[in-house]
Structure formats: structure tokens, C-alpha cells
Structure 1
Amino acid sequence: MPRRHPETSTVEHLVIVGNGMAGHRLVEALLARTERPARITVIGAEQAPAYNRILLSPLLAGEMQREALTLRSAEWYAEQGIELILGERVEKIDCDARTLSTDAGRRLDYDRLVLATGSNPARPPVPGLELPGVHVFRDLHDADALARAAESGRNAVVIGGGLLGLEAAEGLRKRGMQVSLLQRDDRLMNRQLDLTAARLLENELRGRGLDIHTDAQLERLEADAEGQVCAVLLADGTRLAADCVVVAIGIVPNAELGRVAGLEVNRGVIVDEWLTTSDPAIHALGECCEHRGNLYGLVEPIWRQVEVLAERLCLDHDHADDEDAQGYVEKPTATKLKVSGISLYAFGPTEAEPDHEVLSYRDPQQGNYRRLLLRGGRLEGAVLYGDTASGPWYFEQALAGVDLTACRTALLLGAADAQALLDDALNESPHSPAKEAA
């Protein structure tokens, strides 16, 4: 954590563009500090105050009420002395004048500006994708539209076998629809799972009634006589009936505002380790930013970015002369699937390399599977399906680079047994703290 300095922030007016999870997390982090900017304005394009997008999947599945997603009410912002502007989209930034304008004709000045504009759904170049009845799954409006589609239609096709696609497909199935799930790769969640875990997941979902197509190549979407989507055609000739289609193949940074403003943009708005763009008065955060070629779609790295940026905005000192200061640093992240009744935890590479040691365990009766990848006694990757209780412990050891040779025989048994062997090995070491104290 950067060293605290006694001086307060020199930022008079901070404007945060985006009232999603990243922008709201930044607000919370700023309020926790005594050196917060004198004035904070938050602008959100949606009509609703910030909400937990991670819970859109259980909302769609009917497992949660809309109110449970709200992070803070509009009244809370007012109580904190924060100006909250909802339902307006920022259209232009004048970097020289340090002003911005919205689609409602509002004009604001700023001392510092934070872009937390999130991302847009990726769309494949497939004919028919513009037809009525084709949806994405990114916000409350999308969840409501899909719930209405489930009330009036019977057949749904979800394009995308990653995290979001699986959650959308399961949500629509629970709404009573017959759902076909299309994955262009040979397995579901191919970026996170090895083949064995992916097949276990596929078998579980098929048992629930999902129609899963892997190695699926989209040809086109077809319309009925009224112009509504009615079917999806695959390259192998398969035709799937579709009253609604959901595109969930990934996200692309919403960086257009920064691009138009003249900021340096690649795939996302490019930032340095202090989340500062090519304009020193403008920062970018979360899914819209790009740091050293990396983009972001999971909350863990974004939360780390928030802490770095909050410190930067509150202290507003020159980090170049601070030897203890540390900006944002990339770290591995773990993946969990948010589908009720399925436990899955994974991190690191999905495929073993020649110098990896592979440890695996499978209990078909209990539906449990574990596969660990080690190199030189250190854990580099893990896939857990079924019993995932030890997942966080494995991840902690991997992040710390712990040599697990001493507990190798117990690694697949779980965290408790493995940690016990590690503790025994530490106590037996001639350089252990206990023996040195003696």
C-alpha cells in the first residue's frame, strides 16, 4: 500500500463517469479516506443507481429479487454529499478546458476525471444478429427483457459457452424455456477448464435439460414472416428453433469516449500503474481500461485498481519520489461459476506443459474432480469440480510461490492435510522459528 502523507488531496472537483460496480467501489473507497476530494460528481447512463451485476444471473433465474442487487440508494449518495446524475450519457470531453457534456445538454467542469464506462457485449459477424428477438446479457434492462422473452417464447439459443453464456442459459432454463447452448470450442469454459472438468460440467448441464453443442460454427440467424428471429442455422446444417437468441461471447472495452477525447487508446483506454491515461488529469478504471496489454472482466483485479486510484486521488502527490509507493500490479485470478448446484474453482493454465507435474483425483460417485499442475514443487494451476473447499488454499499457495514438495503426497486430499504436513516440515527444519527460539 502506498505510504500515507500528511497533506490532503488537492483535487477540488472529481467527476466519475460510470455508476457501475467499478465506479461505485471507487466512491466507497474515497469515502473511507479523510483526504477525499472536496466535491465528487458521479454520472451514470442507466436510470438505476449502482447495482451488483454479478447477481444478474440469479435474478434472471428467479432466485433473487431486484432490490437485492442495489448497492446504495440515490438517497445515500446525497447523504454523503455526492452529486449523482443518472440517465445521462457523457458525449464529449474537452481535455484542454477540463469540461464534459452529456446527451441532456449538461456541462460540467472537473479537476480530475475518472472513466469507469465498463464494457459492451462482443458480437460475432453473423448475418441476422440485428433481428428483433436477439439479446445480450449485461445489465438490468437485458435481464428484464430476457425474463419477458421467457414468458412469451418457448425456445432459446444462447451463443457462448463461457461463464456468462452458461449463467444466461441456466437462468432461461429455470424460467421454463428449452435452451440450446452453442460453444465454438471443443469444450465449455475452455479458458478455465481442462477437458475432464469441462465434460463433467457438460454432463451435469445436459442432465438438467440443456441442449449443448460444442464445436458449433454459426452460419446465420433466420427470421419469420414478421421479421422476428425464429431459428439459428449452424455450418453443419443443424437448424435450431429460437424464439429468442442471447449473445454472450465476451466483452469489449467501452473506450469510445476516451478515443474521441484524444486519449491514447488500443483495445481499451491505456493507463499506467497509477491508472492515469495519456492526459494526467484523466484516469480510467475497470473494464474500459488497458494496462500493459491486459483487459479486465473479473472483479478481483478491478478492486485492486480501485485501491490504487483512491490513494492516488486522495493524496495527489508525486509518486516518482516515493520509494515505498506501489501502483497497480498484475496478479493471477481465480474463476468461480455462479450456477446454483454446481461448484467449480479454477486458476492458472488449462493445459499441462511438458515440464509440469500433474496430480489428479476423481470420485465419480461423489462427482468430485481435482487436477493440480506443479513445476519444481510449486503450484501453478488447479481445476476443482464438485468439492471446491480447498480452492482458495491452493490459490494462496500458488500466489505465494510456496514449495509444496513436503506435502505433495497429501495435496489432493485437501487443504487441512496438506497444511499439516507443511507445518510439520517447517517445525522439523533446523532454521524454523521454534528451534531458533529454543
Structure 2
Amino acid sequence: MTTRKEKLVVVGNGMAGVRTVEELLKREPNRFDITIFGKEPHPNYNRILLSSVLQGDTSVDDIILNTYEWYEQNNITLFTGDPVTHIDTKQQFVISEQGQKVAYDHLIMATGSNPFMLPLPGADLEGVIAFRDIEDCEKMIDAAKNYKKAVVIGGGLLGLEAARGLLNLNMQADVVHLEHYLMERQLDETAGDMLRDELASQGMTFHMGKQTKQINGKERVQAIQFNDGEIVEADLVVMAVGIKPNVALAADSGIETNRAIVVNDFLETSAPNVYAVGECAEHNGIAYGLVAPLYEQGQVLADTICKKEQVDGYKGSLMYTQLKVSGVDVFSAGDFREGEGKKAIRVHDEFEGIYKKIMVKDDKITGVVLYGDTSDSPRLLDMMKQGEDISDMSKAVLLPSEDAAGGQSPVVNMEPHETVCGCNGVSKEDIVQAINQDGLQSVEEIKQHTNASRSCGGCKPLVADLLQETLGSDVDIAQAEPLCGCTDLSHDVIQEAIKSQMLTNPREVMNVLGWENEEGCSKCRPAINYYLNVIHPESYEDDDRSRFVNERVHANIQNDGTYSVVPRMYGGVTNAEQLRKIADAADKYEVPLLKVTGGQRIDLLGVNKEDLPDMWADLDMPSGYAYGKAIRTVKTCVGEDFCRFGTQDSIGLGMKIEKKFERLSTPHKVKMAVSACPRNCAESGIKDIGIVGVEGAWEMYVGGNGGVDLRPGDLLTKVETSEEVMEIISAFLQFYREDANYLERTSHWIERKGLDAIRDEIIDNMEMRNVYAERMETALEHKPEDPWHSLSHNEKKRQELFERKPVELV
């Protein structure tokens, strides 16, 4: 006899509702027939990380918490883009916007919150948006393609993250805040002012103590106006002034609401068999907007629905926040305001940008603010939760200095019961036990098994430290991370498998190594293609289906769908014939803009895709690979032949380097420069490989980066001849090609590997230097021919280039 499953309906596909379902599946995996309705056209995703998507640090796919496959595997019926519009609490069924009618035995309201939009004149203009979901992110990204001036109203966490993202999108970002310091709910005035100074140095402009009177414009926003009459121009206005619980559906259904949906200690509403969880729930007059309380509620609700004995009920949550705000670590908890009966312990280091404050009352910690260094947060939070008596503790114990910690991670001295991941309530003991029992080798595996670091990600460094502490030297944390979501295997494991099992093509790698997605994805396919190329340089035929569109058409796609074409000019040197070819091509194909690049070449911008093959044939110049994970440019100064300060032939050496290594595949783009003297006119100090001429010698710098993560190069060595320079470049590049992860810049590789280890391998060890140099020669012998010289006379290949479709690589 088959037992009828209880029908569970969840209204809302967000973090709180789906986490409750996860908790129910842990307790009673076969008890419920589950249906989930979501307003957005996406599976459950991590809303906390939307700012990372906006800032370009990650993609929408990367923030998905539960894939469509997870719903299928757990027999969950999911309706996306179809919100519930009616609830009949007497007959117990719901009706969705698209007409789905589903009966329930248990109904969970997880409708979350809506962004609060200020009722200002002009708030309905085009270009005035909130920052709450994926669609809002997409609107901001699209706006940045055509507009440059953005104003964010709201200096709280969400507003600052939006402003940081807009800066990354090359927009001017002005932040308007009603209070006189930032993030007043999470920080005190000292920390708020420190944060403002830091963000101002990043490029944000602040209007503090300002109240917006109206938004000006005709059809699209043009400016905002304050109460004092000041006007600030704006092409985009983002309102980030708070949220309000989404209670309309509950109220229309006769369920008791106040500010949010009123619930008791068991998350029960006023209607039978109807519960509420998350931002839409109000418990003892409080509606929580942080992820940790929502997950705590989810655990209690799962126990309630499963009728677990001795359910204590939900008693409220200690409010705390641990997040990275635009590159600055911030933590706050409890009541950190000063007042009667309270005393403060403070550490304020203006040189290091660190501020810590602990508020104490009746020998117990009542509140904490940490800015710049949050490593003490798990320990202090646990002391607050336990109500620990600190009367016998010294200030040095409560806020130890870095020297006192001996350079150790704070997780090392944590007690087993102490919480590492506050969002998900995961203790040190939980993580260590999972590592030992399940053989976990990476932070990603720990996240999948325990949920630690799954939400805001603030505890990820502690999780990594704990993994390293537990496994000792048996694991390299950086190398242990999975390549992508298609596999649990790390970069180094995949490379080793390719070598040991003699795997020779991408499909074979994915089949043999048990890929979850048999076609791979936009992360793993290019990486596998690269690793096969490096490991089997003599026999592997490059798979152009595993390359991004830029690399397939040998041009950079622009925001309007056209392309930019960059012919190679060795060492930045050109001649009249090349310039005539470029000018003729620009006229023939009506190129709207020609621009000299930072790498001393000419960029033809605005070329239509269908014109690319013919343009390259007309130019009859090598591609500059401005799109590739390859050797890009070798920038040079004019050198000793022309400059009165030059000590070396920088142009000659630069051209020799570029001609030898052009088209060589590398883990990431590689830029080089040769300067004839220490004045460094070619900017050699911020290149992946920088050569600087001094009297009678060359200095070689490596690991420089002139991008967002500005990093000066490290002095690798000093040699006397250009022959030695070429030999060391060969060895360095080959070592980098074989050892670095795909998409790891030389700057990040050197910081992970250590400059001394690189010197030991290719500078001090002549035998290994020769080995790497020989392997480089093999790689250079088999590097691809210039694509457009070979394609220009082969119509069939040119057609294949545009007709063969990649696998989701755009």
C-alpha cells in the first residue's frame, strides 16, 4: 500500500523558502510532494552576491544555489516566472498568475521583500531603478553601455555595492545619503567615515546629509535635485534606500499582517497549515533582513512541519553582518551604540586602516564593530551568543594584535563548537569532521557538504585556513578548487589525469573524468583545450569550438555587437606601407574610429562581423592577438639609437621577443615591455615581463599588472646579454604555462607560487632552466600559423570559422 505524500507548496523561490525545503528533505526526504512558485525566471540564486555579478567578479550562473537539476532530482515541481496570485486558506489551494491551481496540506509563505522606491516626483522616469534582482543588474549593465553618470540614493550596504559595480562599468558614481556617515545601521561614525574615505579614493563621490527633492527629466532621467536646491546630473538613478516585506498576497488572503506576516515561535501564521519564513515574516515585532536569521527560521519551520518532538521554537536572532564592502572587510553585531552602563574597548590603526570596537555591559559583550580586519569576528560572535562573562579577560585577549597571534589564522585557536560560518550556523567541528570523514580536499567541497561559505562568502578565508590546518601540507588550497561546476576535480588533478591517462581531446577528458555536463561549459572547455595544448604540443589539434567568440573571429567584440581589429606592430614599430593598408581598410569598411592603443598599435573599432575575413585579407598583417590568452604586446621605448638617456637597444630586443613568442598560448594574457633605461618610458615595471636597460646589463621584472589590481613587477634577475634575456623569458613563460591555472595572471601565480620558488626553478637551477627552454622551443615549433594569412586564401576554412558553433562560449 502506497502512502499518500503530503502536499507542500512554497510561495517564493528565494533563499529562505528553498533553504527550508532543503531542511525538510534532510529530515523527511520522501514525505512531501513539493511545488515551488517563483516570480523570477530563474532557479534559486544567492541574492547576496548580486553585487559581485554587477561588479564583474562573477556570473549569474556562478550565483545559482540550486540548479534546475536539483529540483528534478528531488522531484520538486518548479514554476518560474509564475507568482501565486490567490490563496484559499479554507479549501487549501493556491492559484498562480498563469492559472496553475495546486492544493496543499502545508503552505510556506516565502515572498521576501520588495525594494522601497522613494515617492519622488520623476521616480517613474526611464533610468530610475532599484537594485534587488538579476533584472536590475542587467538594466545597470545595459545602461553603462550608453550612459556615464549614475547616482545611487542610499549609503547603506546595498547602495555602496551598487556604486562599486557602476564604477567597474566605467560609470561616474555619486552616492547620496541622508545621514552624515555611511552604513549607520552596521557601523559607528568612526568606521563609517573610514569607509567613506576608502571608497572616495576608489572614485565614488559622496553627498552626505542630503535629501532628494525630485528627479528631473523628460522621458529619461537627467538629474536629481536636493532640498537645498543643489542639482546633480544623472543618466541613471539607483534607489537603494531599504526594503519592505511583501505582504500583499497574505493580507488579501486574510492572513494577519503587521509590517510583515505575523508568525509565532513555530513560524505559524494566523491561518491553519500556513507558515511564513524569511524577510516576509514578523516575529515578536521584528522582520529580519539578513540571511542567518532566515536560515535559523528555516530549521525551526522544518522541525515544526515534520512534527519533531521537543521543538523549542524560534526565539529571535542576534543581528550581525559580515560582508566585504568594495574590498573592505566589515563586521558588526549586536548593539554597538554607546550609552549608560556601557564601556568600550577600541583599537584604531589609521596607518593600516583597521578599527575595532567592543561594547561591554555587565561584564558581557553587547556589540562589536570591526573594520578592515574581521578575523576576530567568529570568536567574538560566539562569546556574544553564549553570554560569556569577560570580567577576567584582558583587552589583549579580547582583541589580540597580529603579533600576538603569531601570524596564525584565528580559526586555529577556535574551540570546536565555535561558529565559522555564521550565515549557515556551521561550526569548526562540523567542518573538520566533514573533511576527515568525507575526504574533502577543497573549499568548494566543504561548501557542498556543510554549506559553510555558501551565502555571503565572508568566511571563505577561514574555511580555507581550516582546510589547510586539518590536512597540513597535503593540500594546496589554491590548486584544490574545482575547475567549474561540471566537475569536483581541481586544475592540477585534471592536468595530472591528462598526462597519466594520455587523454588527447576535450570530449575524452570529460568522459573519462566523469563530467556532470557532458558538453562542458564556458569555464571548463577553454581550460581543457589549453591544458591539452600545453601537455601535447606536438600532437594536439586546437579545438576552436572551445574558444570564445573573440578568439574564433580574431577580433574583440564591442558593446554594440561590432568588433575591433588590431593588427600586430612588432615592438610598436610600423612603416608607411602598413599605415596605408590600415587607412585603406578603414575607408573601405567605413571604420568609425581608429585609436592608438596602450600597447603601441592601431585599433580599428566598429567593424561588422561579416567584414572581418575580407578586412584581414586586405590588411595582410599579422593579428595582434588583442583578444587572446596569449602573448599580446611587447611595448618599447625608442632606445639608445634616438634617446639621449637610452643605454640599450630596446626596440631591437622588443621586436625580437615579440616575433619569437607571438601567438603562443598562455594561461592568461601576457604583456611585455622593454625600456632602454630606468626612466621606464615603456612602463616595464607593471608588465607581466618587463625588461629595463641599465649600464651594460638588463634587469628583468615579472608579475606586474597595470589593471584593476595594480601591482609592480618583482625583480627576477639581472643579466648582461640579450641572449640571456631571451633564454630566461623562454624558461619563465614555459614554467608559467605548465604550472599556473588557466586564467591565472602572472601576478596572481607569482603571489601564490612565491618569487623565491620561481628563482630556484629557473634562475639558480641551470639544468631546469634548459629543460623549460627546450620545451618552449617544442611549443613554438607547433604554435598555430597566423590565422588570417592562412585563411585569407581558403574560402572553405573562412566559412567554417563562422558556421561552427561553440558550446555556450560567448
Instruction: Verify: 1:343 aligned to 2:329, yes or no.
Output: yes
SS in 2 for 1:161: coil
Which of 104, 116, 127 matches 1:133?
Answer: 127
Q: Note the C-alpha offset of 1:414.
A: 5.2
Q: Percent identity?
A: 39
CA separation in 1, counterparts of 2:77 and 2:129? 33
Q: Note the C-alpha offset of 1:421.
A: 13
Counterparts in 2 of 1:327 and 1:241: CA distance versus 1, 3 Å: same
Instruction: Give the conservation status (yes or no) of the 8 Å contact 2:222–2:235.
Output: yes
Which of 92, 98, 110 matches 2:92?
Answer: 98
Q: Note the C-alpha offset of 1:28.
A: 1.3
Structure 2 counterpart of 1:430: none
Deviations 1:346-383, CA, capped at 9 Å, x for gaps: 11224201211111111111111111111122111111
Q: Which has the greater radius of gyration?
A: 2
Which of 277, 295, 299 matches 1:307?
Answer: 299
Say which structure is richer in helix.
Answer: 2
Counterparts in 2 of 1:38 and 1:346: CA distance versus 1, 3 Å: closer
CA separation in 1, counterparts of 2:32 and 2:367? 45
Instruction: Verify: 1:66 aligned to 2:53, yes or no.
Output: no
After TM superposition, the structure 1 = structure 2 runs for residues 281-320 of structure 1, keeping only pairs within 5 Å, are 281-315=273-307
Instruction: Give the conservation status (yes or no) of the 8 Å contact 1:343–1:386.
Output: yes
Deviations 1:149-170, CA, capped at 9 Å, x for gaps: 1111100000111111111111
Q: Which stretch of the first structure deviates more once superposed, 393-402 or 250-259?
A: 393-402
Instruction: Give the conservation status (yes or no) of the 8 Å contact 1:182–1:216.
Output: yes
Which of 244, 250, 254 matches 2:242?
Answer: 250
Structure 2 counterpart of 1:114: 108
Instruction: Give the conservation status (yes or no) of the 8 Å contact 1:165–1:248.
Output: yes
Which of 175, 179, 183 matches 1:185?
Answer: 179
After TM superposition, the structure 1 = structure 2 runs for residues 35-54 of structure 1, keeping only pairs within 5 Å, are 37-54=31-48
Structure 2 counterpart of 1:203: 197
Which of 61, 82, 85 matches 1:88?
Answer: 82
Structure 2 counterpart of 1:371: 357
Which of 347, 365, 368 matches 1:382?
Answer: 368
Instruction: Give the conservation status (yes or no) of the 8 Å contact 1:394–1:415.
Output: no
Structure 2 counterpart of 1:403: 389
CA separation in 1, counterparts of 2:164 and 2:143? 14
- AA paired with 2:49? L
CA separation in 2, counterparts of 1:314 and 1:351? 40
Counterparts in 2 of 1:391 and 1:99: CA distance versus 1, 3 Å: same
CA separation in 2, counterparts of 1:409 and 1:103? 58
Counterparts in 2 of 1:330 and 1:414: CA distance versus 1, 3 Å: farther
After TM superposition, the structure 1 = structure 2 runs for residues 151-166 of structure 1, keeping only pairs within 5 Å, are 151-166=145-160
Q: Note the C-alpha offset of 1:397.
A: 0.9
Instruction: Give the conservation status (yes or no) of the 8 Å contact 1:48–1:86.
Output: yes
**CA RMSD between the two structures:** 2.2
Structure 1 counterpart of 2:807: none
Which of 250, 264, 269 matches 2:261?
Answer: 269
How many residue pairs were aligned? 407
Could you say which structure has the greater relative contact order, defined with CA pairs below 8 angstroms and 6 or more residues apart?
1
After TM superposition, the structure 1 = structure 2 runs for residues 422-437 of structure 1, keeping only pairs within 5 Å, are none
CA separation in 2, counterparts of 1:421 and 1:53? 32
Q: Note the C-alpha offset of 1:126.
A: 1.5
- AA paired with 1:266? N
- AA paired with 2:39? A
Structure 2 counterpart of 1:175: 169
Structure 1 counterpart of 2:761: none
- AA paired with 1:405? S
TM-score, normalised via structure 2 length: 0.49
SS in 2 for 1:148: helix
Q: Note the C-alpha offset of 1:112.
A: 1.0
Structure 2 counterpart of 1:413: 400
- AA paired with 2:314? Y
Q: Note the C-alpha offset of 1:34.
A: 2.9
Counterparts in 2 of 1:228 and 1:43: CA distance versus 1, 3 Å: same
Q: Note the C-alpha offset of 1:277.
A: 0.5
CA separation in 2, counterparts of 1:71 and 1:409? 41
Q: Note the C-alpha offset of 1:75.
A: 2.5
Structure 1, gaps ≥5 residues long: 1-8, 424-438
CA separation in 2, counterparts of 1:89 and 1:398? 40
Instruction: Give the conservation status (yes or no) of the 8 Å contact 1:406–1:422.
Output: no
CA separation in 1, counterparts of 2:4 and 2:283? 26
Deviations 1:27-62, CA, capped at 9 Å, x for gaps: 211111236533111111111111111110010001
Counterparts in 2 of 1:10 and 1:275: CA distance versus 1, 3 Å: farther
Counterparts in 2 of 1:232 and 1:52: CA distance versus 1, 3 Å: same
Structure 1 counterpart of 2:553: none
Q: Which stretch of the first structure deviates more once superposed, 413-422 or 269-278?
A: 413-422
Instruction: Give the conservation status (yes or no) of the 8 Å contact 2:336–2:366.
Output: no
CA separation in 2, counterparts of 1:61 and 1:421? 35
- AA paired with 1:280? P
Q: Note the C-alpha offset of 1:103.
A: 1.2
CA separation in 2, counterparts of 1:110 and 1:379? 45
Which of 269, 275, 279 matches 2:271?
Answer: 279
TM-score, normalised via structure 1 length: 0.89
